[in-house]
Amino acid sequence: MSVANAIHAIATGLMMHNKIGNFGEWVRRNLTANGKTITWLADQIQGNPTMVIKWRQGVEPRARNYIKACTAIAKLRGDPMAVVLSEGATHLGVPYEHAPHNTQHTQD
C-alpha cells in the first residue's frame, strides 16, 4: 500500500464518521500492552495528552496525527507500518485489510 493510498483511505474514513471501533481506545490498548502512556505518545507525535484523551472520547484525529500515532505504535510494536495503518483505519471505520496481494493495492 503506497503512502498516498493510505492517506486517501484514511481521509475518506475520517469523513465518513462510520466507526467500527474506537481509535482512541485502540491506541490506549497498544500503549498499555507495551508499557507506554498517553503522555509518551503525545511526546512522540508532538501533541498533548489531552488530544489523545479526546480520541478515547470519540473525537477523530487529524490525518497527520493519525499517521504519526500509527508510526509510533508500529515502531513500538515492531510491526510493519501498513499493518498498523490497517488496524487503525478499521477503528476509524475505514475497511481496509493489509495483505501482500490485496487487490486494493495500486502502484504509483
Q: What is the pLDDT of residues 20-35, one digit of tens each?
A: 579 999 999 999 999 9
Residue type at position 101: H
DSSP 91: T
Output the pTM of the full model: 0.72
Higher-confidence residue of 107 and 96: namely 96
Q: Give the rounded distance of the alpha carbon of 94 from its chain centre.
A: 11
pLDDT cut 90: percent of the chain above it: 59
Confidence at residue 9, expressed as pLDDT on a 0 to 100 scale: 60
Do 86 and 97 contact (CB within 8 A), yes or no? Answer: yes
Instruction: Identify the structural domains of the chain with CATH numbers, from first to last.
Output: 3-90 (1.10.260.40)
